[in-house]
Structure 1
């Protein structure tokens, strides 16, 4: 398969489909048309690949506009009831085929520095998600997309065609997926748990945001995501995660790491430059044994 594709034959990044960023001004106009509520655009919110924006209600309240799936609202409510600081949804509408939400603006900003103290707080948040969905009807296990494309992310063809190195990584991902294709469990999983999706004030964690991918499964997936993103950073923070992840099987760790490898390398091929692709390839390869 793609391992035989030469680097000179690679497909350039701009030829791959990209996920569009939210056009906040247009969305606010459509929300006004649909609901009669006119929100004022204050400006873009920091971070995120698809984007979010700060908005103001007519009564002066400040909120956040973003995209979101309808099924995640009840899951976020469960996380909040368990003591996780999450934002309440205040308005939802379908705009041009996408669901957009206006949600409570939590205090704080994404951390400028990630240290062991923050990671301890994030691990504590992760612990609160244990077994939250045990009383709910069990759906089909969450697909890790290791053998077939995900819905707009975790695409396989970009890795197959980008370079020899990405094609070899994809072969490894397929081999892991053949043994462990899905994630099972009764925990609530954030699915994109990293420092860019938490808010802090003075080093204290004040919010966990961007629950759009929330699902049922194994909360340790979120810790593997966090570990993946922190590779090469503060050794004390990384050590805390490695110690916690020793409590799960190597097979599960490999499957979750393979998912993150596919997700970040694919996304970088389609949305970023070669240096970013090479960075996430280094990280991916460092954890696949």
Structure 2
């Protein structure tokens, strides 16, 4: 059995700090702390880089940290920043993973600069990707789904270490109670709990199985993070949560996102079949269970509509797995 005792502690502040994966907003700074604004981050960035960027607009989307278009006399760029100083090590590590991913052909935007403000807020400046987000998955046909599946193959064997590892984190959440999220969702009652219990039963035979750890994992992949231009994938964004693990994690995430976000019938099956080929049933079950627990907690205080979409995705995946 693989030792899981702390392999994700470099994720941010500990077991529960961002290997949280799907969507956990940054913690607010203490009341007496100096806090950043987007304008102040742009000012510090300009001083650090000797540039003259100005804020153009906030880009749509982004549950965890917003993205902003900046411009100067050169090409358009995107600023992302977060007011959680504890997230800074993860952002700096992600910069190296972005470099590796792009070298392997993974279509994520280039990071032009990474830094930390005087108040401790991490930021990155990246190239602007032309196109539109697939927030509405109804336009994802089999051809686009297969393109995303081919892209996932570029993630193979890119992260030969266990820092910030999604496989380790997934097993820790499901079997060892990391972050307490599993027990919290069990306490919700209703279908949210019923589905988690079904995921628990699905995973129980795999407790002592070691999961693959060497692939690049985006960690927060959903159809809204895919930019499409002229019917082709132009970019995959919001990669700050990247780490090691099995690429099956991202394919499982795409499968549930396809269901939640309205992809045509059969697209979720294509993603799940690819996940099973990439990692096998053990990996898919454990990654899906951990991801569901996390997103179920994330939408707990959001709209009933959002909660129903998450339940739909989780229910559908269990159906496809005959579980």
* In structure 2, distance between residues paired with 1:43 and 1:69: 22
Match of 2:120 in 1: 97
- Within 5 Å, which residues of 2 pair with 1:1-289? 19=26, 23-32=37-46, 37-50=51-64, 51-57=66-72, 59-67=73-81, 69-95=91-117, 96-111=119-134, 112=136, 113-133=139-159, 136-137=160-161, 139=163, 142-144=168-170, 145-146=173-174, 147-150=176-179, 155-156=181-182, 158-173=184-199, 176=203, 179=207, 183-231=211-259, 233-247=263-277, 248-270=279-301, 272-288=302-318, 289=323
Distance 2:224 2:208 in 1: 28
How many residues end up aligned between the 2 structures?
Answer: 266
Partner deviation per Cα, 1:112-171 (whole Å, 9 max, x = no partner)? 5221121111011101111223xx445575311334345xxx834652443343334444
Cα deviations by residue, 1:37-89 (Å, 9 ceiling, x for unpaired): 442111111222122111113x3331111137100111111111111222222
Give, in whole Å, the separation in 2 of the partners of 1:239 and 1:103.
Answer: 33
* Shift of residue 258, structure 1, vs aligned partner: 0.7
Instruction: Report how far residue 218 of structure 1 moved.
Output: 1.0
Aligned in 2, Cα 1:126/1:33: closer, same or farther, shift over 3 Å? same
Greater shift in the superposed pair: 30-39 or 221-230: 30-39
| Misfit runs of 4+, over 6 Å | none
Once residues 242 and 196 of structure 1 are traced to their aligned partners in structure 2, the CA distance between those partners, rounded to angstroms, is: 18
Supply the distance in 1 between the matched residues of 2:233 and 2:223 (Cα, whole angstroms): 10
Structure 1 match to 2:31? none
TM-score scaled by structure 1?
Answer: 0.79
Give the Å deviation of 1:217.
1.5
> Structure 2: which 5+ runs fail to align?
1-23, 29-35, 82-89
Partners in 1 of 2:161 and 2:281 — Cα distance? 28
2:7 aligned partner: none
| Distance across 1 between alignment mates of 2:269 and 2:196 | 28
Q: 1:72 to 1:181 in 2, by over 3 A?
A: farther
Three-state SS of the structure 2 residue aligned to 1:49 is coil
Asked if the contact 1:193/1:226 (under 8 Å) is kept, the reply is yes
Q: How many Å apart are 1:279 and its aligned residue? A: 2.3
Q: After the TM superposition, which of the residue ranges 212-221 and 20-29 deviates more from structure 2?
A: 20-29
Could you tell me the TM-score, scaled by structure 2's length? 0.71
Paired residue for 2:6? none
Alpha-carbon distance in structure 2 between the residues aligned to 1:94 and 1:25: 14
Shift of 1:36: 5.6
Q: CA RMSD in A?
A: 3.0
Distance in 2 of aligned mates of 1:124 and 1:217: 18
Whole-angstrom CA distance in 2 between matches of 1:285 and 1:252: 18
CA contact (8 A) 1:180 1:252 kept: no
Shift of 1:185: 2.9
Q: Which moved more, 1:275-284 or 1:211-220?
A: 275-284
